[in-house]
Amino acid sequence: MAALYVMIPAALLIVALAIRLFFWAVDNGQYEDLDGPAHSILFDDEDPMHTAGMKHNPTESADAPEDKQHNG
């Protein structure tokens, strides 16, 4: 019986902490984009049209500047 006097407040404290962490996560935008990570795995990183992470195009010559824009 004496253990219940410790266990019940401990359980209530853990539940209160979990609720606080949940609301902190919601306020910080953790649940804003639920579909983005799931869809990003479907796209190929080596897509020639995807140039967000590319600094150098391997088809350019070595002496050409990296920020050269291509027309066409």
Q: Report if residue 9 sits inside a domain.
A: yes
Whole-Å CA distances, 37 to 3, 43, 45, 53: 45, 11, 14, 17
Q: Report if residue 33 sits inside a domain.
A: no
Number of domains in the chain: 1
4 CB-contact burial (10 Å; exposed 0-12 / middle 13-18 / buried 19+): exposed
Structure tokens at 48: 């020639």
* Confidence at residue 24, expressed as pLDDT on a 0 to 100 scale: 96
CA angle 56, 60, 63 (to 5 degrees): 90
Q: Report if residue 23 sits inside a domain.
A: yes
Largest CA distance in the chain: 81
pLDDT in tens, the chain (72 residues): 899 999 999 999 999 999 999 999 999 988 888 888 788 788 766 666 665 555 655 565 555 555 555 555
* Confidence at residue 8, expressed as pLDDT on a 0 to 100 scale: 97
